[in-house]
Structure 1
Amino acid sequence: MSNSPDRLRILLAEDDEPMRTYLTRALENAGYAVTGVACGTEAVPLLSDGYDLLLSDIVMPEMDGIELAQRCSEISPGTMVMFITGFAAVTLKASREQPQAKVLSKPFHLKDLVLEVERVFAGTAAISL
């Protein structure tokens, strides 16, 4: 994996279409290659495509982000995981079930998202509690 942002690939799972578009644009503007999907079941077949980061909302229909992260660790163990959520209780559950994953709570500024993604790739992301 290259440290150059234009080489890093992000799989974004976010069920809210305007949010997905907004996050995709911000991450692409920061130099990342982003593939956005609407739910975990859409993301699963793509996990074997060699993404560097799975960026997933936690609360989604069909398959939640935690289950998606568990599938990711089975299919593509080298892919890092980062969650986004608007629910504090869900943040605690994610921290317990995927302790190595960073959790970013909504609302957040796009610069904060990009900064946290950069930290994940640099291996310096702090774990949310």
Structure 2
Amino acid sequence: MTDSTPAKILLAEDDHDMRRFLVKALQHAGFVVTSFDNGLDAYDQLRVEPFELLLTDIVMPEMDGIELARRATELDPDIKVMFITGFAAVALNPDNQAPTQAKVLSKPFHLRDLVNEVQRLLAA
């Protein structure tokens, strides 16, 4: 029995079904997940509550994932960032100023791969 608290993940994903699947998979793996369907609401939550990991889609209404990640790392330099996207080239473009230590997981991916990557990133 461990006394460590589960890692808190903030998920920003505008696709309703994808968000639901991700939340279920991550909760099943033992994480505490708070999710939003846009970057702006996710950012507002980051300002009131700390998270270990920001898991965000890149292409979203109101505030895209890259802007969200940039602002998140300004608020908390220790937050880990993972982009989930069908547009990996966008995330990897150096011109967009995405946090350099961010991980990119390209869609489509298996939920087990997502959980493994999240666990690996949080353990680092």
- TM-score where L is the length of structure 1: 0.86
Letter in 1 for 2:90: V
C-alpha distance in 1 between matches for 2:59 and 2:88: 11
User: Counterparts of 1:33-112 in structure 2 under 5 Å?
Assistant: 33-48=32-47, 49-93=49-93, 97-112=98-113
User: How many equivalent residue pairs?
Assistant: 121
Distance apart, 1:99 and its partner CA? 1.5
Distance apart, 1:15 and its partner CA? 0.3
Distance apart, 1:88 and its partner CA? 3.4
Distance apart, 1:79 and its partner CA? 1.3
Q: Quick check: 30-39 or 91-100, which moved more? A: 91-100
Distance apart, 1:62 and its partner CA? 1.1
CA RMSD of aligned residues (A): 2.0
Corresponding position of 1:19 = 18
Q: How much identity, in percent, do the aligned residues show? A: 56
4+ runs of 1 displaced by more than 4 Å? none
- TM-score where L is the length of structure 2: 0.89
Distance apart, 1:98 and its partner CA? 2.0
Letter in 2 for 1:88: A
Change (3 A) 1:91 1:74: closer
C-alpha distance in 1 between matches for 2:91 and 2:69: 14
Letter in 2 for 1:50: P
Distance apart, 1:34 and its partner CA? 0.2
Structure 1 alignment gaps of length 5 or more: 124-129
Residue 97 of structure 1 aligns to a residue whose secondary structure is: coil
